[in-house]
Amino acid sequence: MSILVLGTAALDTVKTPSGLRTKMLGGSAVHFAMSSRLFTKVHLVAIVGRDFPPAYIHFLQRRGIILDSLLTGVGRTFHWAGEYQGDMNTAITKKTELGVLSSFSPVITPVQRRIKNVFLANVDPDIQRSLLDCMDDPRLVALDSMNFWIQNKRPSLVRMLKRVTIYVANDQEARSLTGEHNLLKAAQGLLRMGPAMVLIKKGEHGVIFFSKKYIFSLPAFPMQRVIDPTGAGDTFAGGFMGYLARAGRFDHKSIKQALVYGTVVASFNVEGFGLNKTSLLTMKDLGRRLQRYRQIVLF
Amino acid sequence: MSILVLGTAALDTVKTPSGLRTKMLGGSAVHFAMSSRLFTKVHLVAIVGRDFPPAYIHFLQRRGIILDSLLTGVGRTFHWAGEYQGDMNTAITKKTELGVLSSFSPVITPVQRRIKNVFLANVDPDIQRSLLDCMDDPRLVALDSMNFWIQNKRPSLVRMLKRVTIYVANDQEARSLTGEHNLLKAAQGLLRMGPAMVLIKKGEHGVIFFSKKYIFSLPAFPMQRVIDPTGAGDTFAGGFMGYLARAGRFDHKSIKQALVYGTVVASFNVEGFGLNKTSLLTMKDLGRRLQRYRQIVLF
């Protein structure tokens, strides 16, 4: 079963201790799609400007990502510039040029309206709502956001949480939305806000999943060298949703497996700048690393 | 097989968001012993002052901890006062009164010299060395330390690392001893310093274990409420060493199980002040929580 992902397609300028890359292909929807394409058909809903290199379009198409609803607006592509230092856990944003993103109004095809699995990656919650309003009868809707929207569009975000199955957050976002420092209490607070499931990403410390019935906790794949963590969270979500969409069910066993696949695919993301590693990835590579992960975690 | 633990017996004054406790029984060797006694016979090597309450002696004896080498010195018992705030991950030390600890020279009995499993909990590395020099033929020697000794007695500590099987550190200590931020690189650096195995405790983020051949990573047991984390690391080490001593072998399967038991027993420590929870613990309680942990982690 296919997935529809709404989010950003961006040009990313990233500086890390390993080097500087200028205007690479990036964005939340793009990282998500590059990961979930390994599991199922992915339809990307985003906007780019007229400066968006045609080579990037071909690059996405060659990986089988469906671009019927990738709009081109008048203006420049969303450009993010950031830097990672030290523990590489937090990006220092140097520049955010919204460009065409500031007037983004998603449009989808009649076929896409009927897609059952929807991932609302990080964009303005009002844009997330307008996309969800277009969907006929989605079965699994997951939503990601960021601190900027928690602070500036909290009522919109809170309304959206009542309409989604899974809220995907990082630990800071979970804390800031609920005011609870303890992650279990924060997750319980988030579950009370509407979603049936809450998935909290903790970066190098792994991931923890909550529903009313279950808690699952997994460590990250231990990495010796982190080149560029940009997009790791969306890559995780892509593996997680990709697995669930392919499995066609979300019982607790499938969810655990999906968390494992998300963890493993995210470990490739950080090993290269931008999409360098994930765009070359095959299910065989995933399978091999999954075996190593099993040895590291299972007892 | 029994364990000999060298470390501190202390009076702890602890303030956390849950309250204040004054001069509770604590110390690295005491927390370790309270946990490892669930698995095997534990001999405690430490020093207290004349102010040490007899009730605390009886408390330890009633839990089966062997006190033949608990010395009483002239002066006051080691007293630590600290406070935890916010994320409860780091203690703010308010007071450290060494008392009799400043002239501690461990003495053990002929029977204790022949014990095969030794845990050198956090004390001056020169005291750790003098104890190890007394042992006839230890089979498994684990050593814990702290940033104070890394900064102030680095050569002594480095010499000790060549003589131990397992170095137990927290993430900060591993980084500060090697100058490597990445934990995998830090662990490789530590392995080159001598120990066959390195165990890095990450508090609420779990634990990661390294040998030349294996990496194991486990999340912590998710806790909704942390009352007092003092001694959690030593409680972890007690469960870990206790399991290994009882198993009588340290192949990779036993080590994984030992890490799991350490994780589970440490989760009880943080649920109460001082030894409130761990002193009441039974193997049945451990078994029950282990079952829940399996559901949370295994896939």
- A153-159 contacts, C-beta under 8 A, 24 or more apart: A153/A124, A153/A125, A153/A126, A156/A124, A156/A125, A156/A126, A156/A129, A157/A125, A158/A193, A159/A125, A159/A129
pLDDT digits (tens, 9 = 90+) for A36-78: 999 999 999 999 999 999 999 999 999 999 999 999 999 999 9
Q: How confident is the model at residue A88 (pLDDT cuts 50, 70, 90)?
A: confident
Q: Do B297 and A296 touch (CB under 8 A)?
A: no
Residue in chain A lying closest to B225 (CA): A182
CA A236 to chain centre: 6
Q: What residues of A are in contact with residue B222 (Cβ under 8 Å)? A: 183-184, 208, 215, 217
- Average pLDDT value for residue range B251-279: 97
Which residue of chain A is at minimal alpha-carbon distance from B215?
Answer: A296
Tell me whether A205 touches chain B (CB under 8 Å): yes
Q: pLDDT band at B85, cuts 50/70/90? A: confident
Chain A residue with the nearest C-alpha to that of B299: A256
Calculate what percentage of chain B has a pLDDT beyond 70.
100
| Position B186 confidence tier, pLDDT thresholds 50, 70, 90 | very high
A260 touches chain B (CB under 8 A): yes
pLDDT of A89 > 80? The answer is: no
User: Which band of pLDDT confidence, cut at 50, 70 and 90, is reported for residue B91?
Assistant: confident
**Distance from first CA to last CA of chain B, Å, rounded?**
33
User: Taking the model in full, what pTM does it have?
Assistant: 0.94
Query: How many C-beta atoms surround the C-beta of residue A162 within 10 A?
Result: 9
How far is residue B28's CA from residue B6's CA, in Å, rounded to a whole number? 8
Q: What local confidence, expressed as pLDDT, does residue A87 receive?
A: 74
CB B280: neighbour CB atoms within 10 A? Answer: 11
- Write out chain A residues lying below 8 Å of B260, CB-based: 299
Grade residue A127 by pLDDT with cuts at 50, 70 and 90: very high
Average pLDDT over residues A129-149: 96
Q: Do A181 and B296 count as a contact with CB atoms less than 8 A apart?
A: no
Yes or no, beta carbons of B299 and A208 under 8 Å apart: no
Percent of chain B with pLDDT over 90: 97
Residue among B16, B182, B209, B253 with most chain A CBs within 10 A, to mutate? B182
pLDDT, tens digit, for every residue of A170-219?
999 999 999 999 999 999 999 999 999 999 999 999 999 999 999 999 99
Confidence of residue B87 (pLDDT cuts 50, 70, 90): confident
Number of separate helices (H) and strands (E) present in chain A:
11, 13
Instruction: Say yes or no: B41 contacts chain A, CB-CB below 8 A.
Output: no
Mention every residue, 6+ apart, whose C-beta is less than 8 A from residue A148.
none
Is any Cβ of chain B less than 8 angstroms from the Cβ of A219?
A: yes
Chain B contact for A45 (CB, 8 A cutoff): no
How many contacts, defined by CB atoms under 8 Å, are there between A and B?
Answer: 77
Please give the Cα distance from B67 to A83 (Å, whole number).
55
Chain A residues with CB-CB distance to B215 below 8 A: 222, 296
In this prediction the ipTM stands at 0.92
| 3-class secondary-structure state, position B37 | coil
Q: Is A85 on the interface with B (CB under 8 A)?
A: no
Q: Is A225 within 8 Å of chain B by CB?
A: yes
- pLDDT attached to residue B102: 94
Minimal C-alpha gap between B298 and chain A (Å): 6
Average pLDDT, chain B: 96
Confirm or reject contact between B184 and chain A (CB < 8 A).
Answer: yes
User: A219 and B219 in contact by Cβ < 8 A?
Assistant: yes
Which of B86, B218, B298 shows the shortest C-beta gap to A219? B218
CA distance A297 to A295: 6
Alpha helices by DSSP H, listed for chain A, are 28-36, 54-62, 110-113, 125-134, 147-152, 154-161, 171-178, 183-192, 232-247, 252-269, 283-297
Contact B289, B268 (CB under 8 A): yes
Which residues of chain B make contact with A208, given a CB cutoff of 8 A?
219, 222
Query: Do the Cβ atoms of A219 and B223 come within 8 Å?
Result: no
Q: Which amino acid is it at B209?
A: F
Residue B264 phi, psi dihedral angles, 5° rounding = -70, -45
Q: Do B185 and A224 touch (CB under 8 A)?
A: yes
From chain B, the residues in CB contact with A219 under 8 A are: 205-206, 208, 217-219
Amino acid B31: pLDDT? 98
- Say if B182 is an interface residue toward chain A (CB within 8 Å): yes
CA-based nearest residue to B160, from B133, B200, B179, B186: B133
Yes or no, beta carbons of B256 and A299 under 8 Å apart: yes
Tell me which H or E stretch contains B4. Answer: strand B3-6
